[in-house]
Amino acid sequence: MFASAISLLETARSATVLCHVQPDADTIGSGLAIGTVLARRGVEVQVAFASPSELPESMNELPGRDMLTAPEDVRSRVDLVVTVDAGSRGRLGALADRIDMADACLVIDHHRSNTRFGTLNVVDDGAESTTAVITRLLDAWNVAVDTDLAHCLFAGLVTDTGSFRWVRPGSHLLAERLLATGIDGAAIARKLLDNHPFGWLPMLGSVLGSAALVQDAVGGLGLVYAVILRENSEGMRSEEIESVIDIVRTTSEAEVAAVFKQQSGDEWTVSLRSKTAVDVSTVAATLGGGGHRNAAGFTAHGAKTDVIDLLVDALG
C-alpha cells in the first residue's frame, strides 16, 4: 500500500503539503509531520491551508509550524503536492489548483467519502486519523519517529479518536509508540481539547438553551440539533464553535446530532454526528459535503428553517 507513495516522496525535490480548509489538528498534525520529514531530506517544502488566514490558536505549539505558508505565497510549480486529511479537492479551497500544476499528487486520507482525486491515493477509511495512516507510512519508510514528529502525529490521533473513544485494536499501541518518545500526551490533549475562554460558557448557555429534539426524524430514531447564529459566535474561536457538537451528540434520545453554524447571512456549515445506525457521510454527500460514517458535514444556503428542513428531509 505504501511502496508507491514512498517512491513519490523519495524522488520529489520540491513539494507542497496541503491541509484542508478550516483545519483541525489531524490535518495540521499530518501536514507538519510529512513536511518535517521532507524538509529533513532536503526537499524544498511548504505546508499550507487556504482558509482562514490564521492557524487555530490551539495548534500554535505544534512542531514545524514555521513551515506554514500563507496561501498567496504557495509556489505554483512543484514536483509533488501531498494532500492530508482532505476527502475531496473542494476541501482544499483556493489551493486546489496547485494539484494541476504539480507533476504528481499524493492523497493521504482516512475519509470514507474520499473521491480519490490524486495521481496516487493512500486512503485507509478504517484508520483512526490521517496521522495514524502517516505513522504507518513512516514505519514502512523506515523513518524514525522522534518527539517532534510524535507530537504532530499524536495531535491528530487524540482529537480524531475523541480522546480515544473511537478506537480499534492497535489504536492504543499506536498511541503508546508515540508517547514512548517522551511527548507530554496530557499537555497536548489539554491544549487541543480542554482549553476554552470563559466566554464559551455563556455562548453554550444560549446555543444549548435553544436546542431542539425531533423525535420522529431519521425514521423515528431521532434528530437533535442546535443553531449557532453569528451573534453567538462573535469573538469565538473555531475551537469554541466546533466543540458544541460534542455536547449535542451525547443526547440519548437521538441517533443523529447536528449543529448549524451561520457563516454569513444565508450561508450555513452543518456538522453531523451519528451513533451507530446511520451513515452520515452518505447523507452529507447527498447535500454536497462528506466525511466519515459517524462524523460528517456540509455547507448549505438559505433561511435557517429551510436549511433545517433540508437536513430533516435528507435524513428520511
- Residues in contact with Mn ion by CB under 5 A are 26, 85, 130, 160
3-state secondary structure of 157: helix
What per-residue string of b and e applies to 3-20 under the rule 16 or more CB within 10 Å gives b?
eebbebbeebebbbbbbb
3-state secondary structure of 258: strand
Closest to Mn ion by CB, 98 or 110: 110
Write the CA distances from 150 to 9, 157, 244, 252, integer angstroms.
19, 10, 28, 36
> Could you write out the DSSP letters of every residue in 213-246?
EETTTGGGT-EEEEEE-HHHHTT--HHHHHTHHH
Closest to Mn ion by CB, 12 or 86: 86
Closest to Mn ion by CB, 63 or 87: 87
Angle at alpha carbon of residue 259, lines to 94 and 296, rounded to 5°: 55
**Cβ of residue 22: shortest distance to Mn ion, in angstroms?**
12
**Cβ of residue 49: shortest distance to Mn ion, in angstroms?**
13
Instruction: Confirm if 98 and 16 have CB atoms less than 8 A apart.
Output: yes
**Cβ of residue 129: shortest distance to Mn ion, in angstroms?**
5
Give the cell for residue 148: 517532534
Closest to Mn ion by CB, 26 or 239: 26
**Cβ of residue 96: shortest distance to Mn ion, in angstroms?**
18
Q: How many CB atoms lie within 10 A of CB 299?
A: 16
Closest to Mn ion by CB, 222 or 291: 291
3-state secondary structure of 204: helix
**Cβ of residue 50: shortest distance to Mn ion, in angstroms?**
17
Closest to Mn ion by CB, 103 or 124: 124
Looking at the DSSP bridge assignments, the partners of residue 48 are 18
Cα separation, 173 vs 136, whole angstroms: 12
Closest to Mn ion by CB, 159 or 251: 159
Closest to Mn ion by CB, 193 or 314: 193
**Cβ of residue 25: shortest distance to Mn ion, in angstroms?**
9
**Cβ of residue 271: shortest distance to Mn ion, in angstroms?**
14
**Cβ of residue 84: shortest distance to Mn ion, in angstroms?**
9
Closest residue to Mn ion, Cβ-based?
A: 26
Q: How many CB atoms lie within 10 A of CB 37?
A: 21
Q: Which residues, other chains included, contact 19 with Cβ-Cβ below 8 Å and sequence gap of 6+?
A: 27, 28, 30, 31, 47, 48, 49, 83, 84, 85, 86
